[in-house]
């Protein structure tokens, strides 16, 4: 476990050093993913669906704020809808306009959730997004989650029904619009999924804010279970087909995402938590203090193998004198050269711990 926290620390350090590169990289990947998914699913306008356009749009959006990606994705979807029919374009545009007027005008930062939701659906982990926002954000995000889900189901409907959407003149446009709206907004599966997301979001958010031990883990698991239960109940009661395998896999993946988020944003040591009680003139206070988890970095041991030796400077005159003395008194032993400066062991050898 310590290894993971050390790795987290290293990642944070790397991110701090290259945050601009990381942010732009993530923005580019998200833009590429979203444009690819749009073009792959509803790419009816061939010119706009080419890989070159996808790449070019992603690169352009990388150098602008994140909201630019949302605007470009909206424009791309509308271009493809125009290729299907005017009616589909009009209805999609009006739905986007309503979303903007009632929600995104007030909280523009939440617009990115609308991009994340269809992407999560494409990877079969739709609950990961509401769970992640329940853990790190506030219930305001629920509206954005709902809008993202609606956008996904709109694209799904157009993808399936585009070849059958025909009819000319005003009556044709009216019947297409009516059919499109009915199929999307009377889709029981969509409303069950939205209900499951909203209930699970509220449960996860409420548990996460409690002072119980391991609140984030409990919140993630409880949210995933509630989401699965509501989907299964909806499946049984309303006869909506739900793949239990993908539901289970998606829930497990969402819990994993939740655990990663806990590691990144809420690493605490519950074993060292303290419960305090005190009072002032007006209140009694029951405080639970949980220390943040911090792992000391392992210190590096540097062992210097070869130190710098100082050059010995010989005093040649004294050597000669000693030799002479040695020759005169052979019983005193051999010649001992005198060294000037430091000892012969040198100064450099040392161990650093």
Interface positions, 162-201, toward another protein (CB under 8 A): 174, 177-178, 181-182, 185-186
Tokens of 80: 């493809």
In the block, tokens 């000892």 appear at 343
Beta-strand pair 284-289/274-279:
antiparallel
| Contact mark string toward another protein, 318..347, x via CB under 8 A | ------------------------------
Question: What's the closest the beta carbon of residue 91 comes to another protein, in angstroms?
Answer: 7
Q: Is 210 exposed, middle or buried (0-12, 13-18, 19+ CB in 10 A)?
A: exposed
Which region among 17-25, 99-107, 202-210, 286-294 touches another protein (by CB under 8 A)? Answer: 99-107
Least separation in angstroms between CB 135 and another protein = 24
State the number of binding residues for another protein (CB under 8 A): 16
Encoded tokens for 330: 């052979």
Do residues 49 and 79 lie in contact, with contact meaning Cβ atoms separated by under 8 Å?
no
106, 229, 237, 338: residue in contact with another protein (rule CB under 8 A): 106
Question: Considering the complex, what minimum distance in angstroms separates the CB of residue 180 from another protein?
Answer: 9
Told to check if 81 binds another protein by CB under 8 A, we report: no
Stretch that binds another protein, among 6-14, 71-79, 93-101, 323-331 (CB under 8 A): 93-101
Binding mask 256-285 for another protein (x = CB under 8 A): ------------------------------
Instruction: Name the segment binding another protein (CB under 8 A); options: 12-20, 89-97, 148-156, 247-255.
Output: 89-97
The DSSP code for 345 is T
109 interacts with another protein by CB under 8 A? no
List the one residue from 102, 244, 265, 270 that touches another protein (CB under 8 A).
102
> Residue 87 in contact with residue 180, Cβ under 8 Å?
yes
Rank residues 122 and 173 by Cβ distance to another protein and give the closer one. 173
Q: How far is the CB of 11 from another protein (least distance, A)?
A: 24
- Binding segment for another protein (CB under 8 A), chosen from 34-42, 60-68, 100-108, 194-202, is 100-108
Backbone angles phi, psi at 286, to 5 degrees: -115, 105
What six digits make up the tokens of 30?
């998200």
Give the span between the Cα atoms of 63 and 36, in whole angstroms. Answer: 18
The answer to the question of residue 86 lying near another protein (CB under 8 A) is no
* Nearest residue to 209 (alpha-carbon basis) of 222, 195, 193, 197: 222
No. of helices (H) and no. of strands (E), the chain: 13, 6
77 touching another protein, by CB under 8 A:
no
Which tokens is 233 given?
Answer: 């109940």
Is the dihedral angle over the CA atoms 118, 123, 124, 128 positive or is it negative? negative
Question: What tokens were used for 251?
Answer: 């829930």
For 229-279, give the DSSP string.
HHHHHHHHHH-----HHHHHHHHHHHHHHHHHHHHHH--B-GGG-EEEEEE
Distance CA 186, CA 345 (A): 90
Nearest distance, CB of residue 74 and another protein, angstroms: 15
Binding of another protein at residue 63 (CB under 8 A)? no
Bridge pairing between strands 302-303 and 313-314 = unpaired
> Hunting for tokens 């992603």 — which residue is that?
58
Q: Which of 32, 37, 76, 95 binds another protein (CB under 8 A)?
A: 95
Which residues of the shown chain bind another protein in the complex (CB under 8 A)? 91, 94-95, 97-98, 101-102, 105-106, 174, 177-178, 181-182, 185-186
């Amino acid at each position: 476990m310590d290894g993971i926290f050390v790795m987290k620390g290293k990642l944070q350090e790397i991110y701090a050093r290259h945050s601009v590169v990381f942010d732009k990289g993530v923005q580019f990947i998200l833009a590429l993913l979203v444009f690819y998914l749009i073009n792959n699913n509803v790419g009816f306008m061939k010119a706009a669906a080419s890989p070159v356009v996808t790449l070019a749009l992603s690169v352009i959006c990388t150098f602008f704020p994140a909201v630019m990606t949302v605007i470009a994705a909206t424009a791309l979807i509308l271009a493809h809808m125009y290729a299907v029919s005017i009616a589909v374009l009009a209805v999609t545009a009006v739905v986007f306009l309503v979303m903007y007027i009632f929600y995104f005008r007030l909280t523009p930062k939440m617009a990115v959730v609308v991009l994340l939701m269809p992407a999560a659906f494409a990877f079969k982990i739709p609950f990961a997004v509401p769970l992640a926002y329940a853990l790190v954000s506030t219930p305001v995000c629920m509206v954005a989650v709902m809008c993202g889900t609606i956008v996904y189901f709109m694209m799904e409907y157009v993808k399936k029904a585009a070849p059958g959407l025909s009819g000319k003149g005003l009556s044709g446009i009216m019947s297409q619009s009516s059919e499109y709206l009915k199929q999307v907004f009377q889709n029981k599966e969509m409303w069950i999924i939205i209900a499951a997301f909203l209930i699970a979001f509220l449960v996860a958010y409420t548990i996460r804010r409690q002072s119980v031990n391991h609140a984030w883990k409990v919140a993630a698991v409880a949210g995933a279970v509630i989401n699965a239960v509501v989907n299964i109940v909806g499946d049984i009661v309303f006869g909506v087909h739900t793949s239990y395998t993908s539901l289970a896999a998606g829930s497990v993946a969402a819990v994993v995402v939740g655990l990663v988020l806990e590691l990144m944003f809420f690493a605490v040591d519950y074993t060292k938590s303290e419960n305090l009680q005190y009072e002032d003139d007006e209140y009694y206070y029951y405080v639970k203090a949980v220390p943040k988890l911090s792992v000391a970095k392992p210190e590096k041991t540097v062992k210097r193998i070869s130190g710098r030796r100082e050059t010995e400077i010989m005093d040649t005159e004294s050597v000669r004198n000693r030799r002479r003395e040695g020759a005169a008194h052979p019983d005193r032993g051999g010649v001992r050269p005198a060294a000037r400066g430091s000892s012969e062991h040198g100064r450099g050898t040392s161990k650093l711990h």
